[in-house]
Amino acid sequence: MSITEKRHTDPERAQSRRRQVLDAAALCFSRSGFHGASMAEISKAAGMSAGHIYNYFDGKDAIIAAFVEEEVERVALLLRDLEQKDDPLQAIVDESDNSVDEHMAPDFWRLKLEIFAEASRNPKVAAVMVNADLRMRTQFRAIVKAGRERHGLAADDATIDGRLEATIALFQGLALRALHHPELDKAALKRAYRVGLGALLLS
Amino acid sequence: MSITEKRHTDPERAQSRRRQVLDAAALCFSRSGFHGASMAEISKAAGMSAGHIYNYFDGKDAIIAAFVEEEVERVALLLRDLEQKDDPLQAIVDESDNSVDEHMAPDFWRLKLEIFAEASRNPKVAAVMVNADLRMRTQFRAIVKAGRERHGLAADDATIDGRLEATIALFQGLALRALHHPELDKAALKRAYRVGLGALLLS
Amino acid sequence: MSITEKRHTDPERAQSRRRQVLDAAALCFSRSGFHGASMAEISKAAGMSAGHIYNYFDGKDAIIAAFVEEEVERVALLLRDLEQKDDPLQAIVDESDNSVDEHMAPDFWRLKLEIFAEASRNPKVAAVMVNADLRMRTQFRAIVKAGRERHGLAADDATIDGRLEATIALFQGLALRALHHPELDKAALKRAYRVGLGALLLS
Amino acid sequence: MSITEKRHTDPERAQSRRRQVLDAAALCFSRSGFHGASMAEISKAAGMSAGHIYNYFDGKDAIIAAFVEEEVERVALLLRDLEQKDDPLQAIVDESDNSVDEHMAPDFWRLKLEIFAEASRNPKVAAVMVNADLRMRTQFRAIVKAGRERHGLAADDATIDGRLEATIALFQGLALRALHHPELDKAALKRAYRVGLGALLLS
DNA sequence: CATGAATGAGGATTCATTCAT
DNA sequence: GATGAATGAATCCTCATTCAT
């Protein structure tokens, strides 16, 4: 979890090297999975010797953890955007078409599943995820609470928490649907999502 | 996808040997994951030499595939129960509390994630899952269609499919919530699920 | 230290395989040192795949430890022989020529030094050695005590212990002389050893 | 054997840089052993980049060799002191208590063993040691010869050489006793050493 | 049918050494 | 002179799989 930053004389270069590794990892992980991707494969994709990677990461686990942490950071950013909107709840429903598309993009869900599976076995990764989910949920929770109050809906803690979790489950479940049913009718799905999200958030 | 059934002089004994292996695998997989479980571990749990397993399965992948197929078969059975009910749709909503509990039982979701991750990498396993999902969906679809017609709700193909997928996503997403938020408030979640499921199935 | 004996159906074969490994190790260790000898080298010398060695030994350290334990066992046997003699103390002095030759045989001292160095760094090996030295000393101590009493010499604990340690040091130091001064005059050395040993044991 | 002295514009600075490295090496070697100490560790202790060390030493082996040479030089100095005494032989016996203490100090014997082991494998180091031992022996030899003649004892070459080697063995063996028997009774040992040394040198 | 001994490829990691700056 | 980024070879170990018995 703790990103061991070895001292480097040129922190910018170091940062860019770490980027290279993480980008390479993104490629390899989605191609071969966390464990299918060898350090050799990653190092080749990163344009750097395998040994050198260890100057930037403590080991393969650290790469995975850093990678997960980044992924997770991205979600936090999206939520911060959402928070800025006039009526975030309505925005979630209105923009759910895009969200559905995003969650079902092959690269996206493949990587997500990889992360989930790793977390279910690797406690370090699990810790990163649980922590990230907590931050994400906290942010999201504030949005939902404010939104529901503004809409004059029940906004007690339990209700909020329940709706929150169900909503997240609905989105996270998309990766699994993409896996199980690659040819599903996305248009129809999106309509259903508007119904489901509307019910969970705005009723 | 079709599991190679080797010729055996005594097919019954062979069948029981396969069972032993699959039961042992169930134990080991849920303990150590698909890849964490070694053939040696499985063979010991199965009370049989490692080499001998290869008389019943083509390899570790075949065990995983057979195992997944069984798991997946179990869901189909649950649905068959559901089909018998008077008002299956209402039953889904009414009994969602139990469903939530089931989907969030650690053994359940851990194994599910294992399966998902494997499917995203192993085409044989993916095929088994896609096929099983298809069967399950077909069954479920009939239930939903009949139910909605009976309730006088829109029951065109696209609507049915959309609601179906969203409903399944909602349930499958539960495993991911269990992973991300081990301490979530299940009571609140169940109330939200009744709302979400009601909207998706009965509106 | 604990020799992990994996279960083998044919314990005799297993024993002989372990022998092969230990013999190969003896060769490789004296050729290249403990750390210079790679598992690959050892496995080739043992006529067995590298992987297979791990069915008999927990790892390289375990091979080293087992190897040391054997070496050490050999000394105990020599002492048991000594114990049987009529006048063991006199025998030590009288036969010191042979002892000197043995301790200065290149294979002998090279291996000894390897063991000493390993023990000074590897606590597991050190434990084996300290323990072995204790057993050896105990045996030797009894011989010296009985011998001195019989010769009517001081035989209080402190005197015995001091003479004992000095005598052992004298012999163990031989390996170091062989290393430092390969061409030393062995005949002259043997005469001096008779003087030294006589003084330490019989005066 | 001859340590390659690279050309440096400022030989004095170079000399002091070499010192830094050797001092750092002393620290690291006694902490981690020759092979346990990495160039990175040494370079950090020396306050100098790893790469830069190669401007002063041909490689790690060269550092070890230089280090050993220094160590070995120290012994020669001790002997020169001894030579000055009135009755050096008696002094050896009389001061043997101190010698025993010195040889059994953990830092001392640990490093010695490291050196011995290295020498048994690394011909360059062995050469340094053999050579050093020769010089030391020559010095010591003169002392013993003069001493014995003065005491009216046999002083033919063979006798001298034999006694010499045995005496050295007795001292060098101390490192091995310290390793094998950390809790030995030093007082008793010292008494025994006086006996042994007396016999070897003064009889 | 059944065993488990044996293989061998493959993977993560370390570290002495080089070299552009 | 001095740096430390970069290399790549070498090492230990694991494990699915095969096969003689």
Is domain D1-58 in CATH 1.10.10.60, yes or no? yes
DSSP state of D55: T
> What pLDDT, on a 0 to 100 scale, did the predictor assign at position A166?
97
Buried b / exposed e over C47-71, threshold 16 CB at 10 Å, is: ebeeeebeebbeebebbbbbbbbeb
pLDDT tens-digit readout, C85-113 = 888 899 999 999 999 999 999 888 888 88
Tokens of B104: 């969030």
CA B145, B149, B153, B158 dihedral sign is positive
Kindly state the average pLDDT of the residues D70-81: 81
Question: Over chain C, what is the mean pLDDT?
Answer: 90
D74 CA: distance to closest CA in chain C (Å): 16
Alpha-helical (H) ranges within A120-154 are 123-150
- Which strand (E) or helix (H) includes residue D173? helix D157-180
Alpha-helical (H) ranges within chain B are 11-36, 39-45, 50-53, 60-84, 88-94, 96-104, 106-119, 123-150, 157-180, 186-201
- What is the CATH T-level fold of the domain B71-202, as seen in this structure? Tetracycline Repressor; domain 2 (1.10.357)
pLDDT band at C21 (very low <50, low <70, confident <90, very high): very high
C abuts D (3+ Cβ pairs < 8 Å): yes
Kindly state the average pLDDT of the residues C187-197: 97
Predicted structure pTM score? 0.85
Confirm whether any atom of chain E, the nucleic acid strand, is less than 7 Å from CB of C51.
yes
Cα D40 → chain centroid: 26
- For an interface test with C, which of D97, D153, D179 has the most C Cβ atoms less than 10 Å from its Cβ? D179
Q: Is B67 helix (H, G, I), strand (E, B) or coil?
A: helix
CA-to-CA dists, residue B165 to B74, B199, B201, C138, D130, angstroms: 19, 13, 11, 79, 82
Who's near A128: CB < 8 A, 6+ residues apart? A1, A65, A68, A69, A72, A119
Strand F nucleotides within 7 Å of a protein CB: 1-20
Residues 8-47 of chain A sitting with CB below 7 angstroms of strand F: 8-10, 13-14, 17, 47
Measured CA B51 to C1' F19 distance, in angstroms: 9
Rounded CA-CA distance A129/A120 in Å is 10
pLDDT tens, N- to C-terminus, chain A (203 residues): 444 456 788 888 899 999 999 999 999 998 888 888 999 999 999 999 999 999 999 999 999 989 888 888 888 888 888 888 889 999 999 999 999 999 999 888 888 888 888 888 888 888 888 988 998 899 899 999 999 999 999 999 999 999 999 999 999 999 999 999 999 999 999 999 999 999 999 99
Question: Over chain D, what is the mean pLDDT?
Answer: 90
pLDDT at C195 over 60: yes
Chain D touched by C168 (CB under 8 Å): yes
List CB contacts (< 8 A) between D196 and chain C. Answer: 166, 170, 196, 199-200
Output phi, psi for D118, to 5 deg: -60, -45
> What pLDDT, on a 0 to 100 scale, did the predictor assign at position A109?
87
**A116 neighbors A172 (Cβ within 8 angstroms):** no
pLDDT at C2 over 60: no
Q: Which residue, A182, A108, A27, A116, is CA-closest to B123?
A: A182
Question: Smallest Cβ distance to B185: which of A36, A114, A158?
Answer: A158
List CB contacts (< 8 A) between C110 and chain D. Answer: 120
Q: Which residue has the tokens 């005494």?
A: D85
Kindly state the average pLDDT of the residues C6-17: 85
- The per-residue DSSP string of D87-143 comes to SHHHHHHHTHHHHHHHHHSHHHHHHHHHHHHHHTT-HHHHHHHHHHHHHHHHHHHHH
Output phi, psi for D7, to 5 deg: -75, 135
Cα D167 → chain centroid: 15
Tell me which amino acid residue B171 is. Answer: F
Tell me which amino acid residue A163 is. Answer: R
DSSP state of B151: T
List CB contacts (< 8 A) between B169 and chain A. Answer: 169-170, 173-174, 176-177
Residues 39-98 of chain A sitting with CB below 7 angstroms of strand E: 39-40, 50-52, 54, 59-61
Show contacts of C33-42: CB within 8 Å, 24+ apart.
C33/C114, C33/D117, C33/D120, C33/D121, C34/C64, C34/C114, C34/C117, C34/C118, C35/D35, C36/D121
Rounded CA-CA distance C48/C53 in Å is 7
Rounded CA-CA distance C174/C196 in Å is 13
Measured CA A42 to C1' E18 distance, in angstroms: 24
DSSP state of C170: H
pLDDT tens-digit readout, D38-47 = 999 999 999 9
pLDDT band at D5 (very low <50, low <70, confident <90, very high): low
Determine whether B2 is exposed, middle or buried from the number of CB atoms within 10 Å of its CB (0-12, 13-18, 19+). Answer: exposed
The domain segmentation of chain D, as residue ranges, is 1-58, 71-202
pLDDT at D143 over 60: yes
Question: Smallest Cβ distance to D185: which of C161, C169, C199?
Answer: C161
Confirm whether any atom of chain F, the nucleic acid strand, is less than 7 Å from CB of C4.
no
**B176 neighbors A169 (Cβ within 8 angstroms):** yes
Kindly state the average pLDDT of the residues D155-183: 95
pLDDT at C201 over 80: yes
Rounded CA-CA distance A133/D84 in Å is 79
Tokens of D13: 């600075």
pLDDT tens, N- to C-terminus, chain B (203 residues): 444 456 777 778 888 999 999 999 999 998 888 888 999 999 999 999 999 999 999 999 999 999 988 887 887 787 788 788 888 888 888 889 999 999 999 888 888 888 888 888 788 888 888 888 898 899 889 999 999 999 999 999 999 999 999 999 999 999 999 999 999 999 999 999 999 999 999 99
Rounded CA-CA distance A175/A115 in Å is 12
pLDDT band at C185 (very low <50, low <70, confident <90, very high): very high
List CB contacts (< 8 A) between C191 and chain D. Answer: 158-159, 162
Alpha-helical (H) ranges within chain A are 11-36, 39-46, 50-53, 60-84, 88-94, 96-104, 106-119, 123-150, 157-180, 186-201
> What pLDDT, on a 0 to 100 scale, did the predictor assign at position B2?
43
DSSP state of D9: S
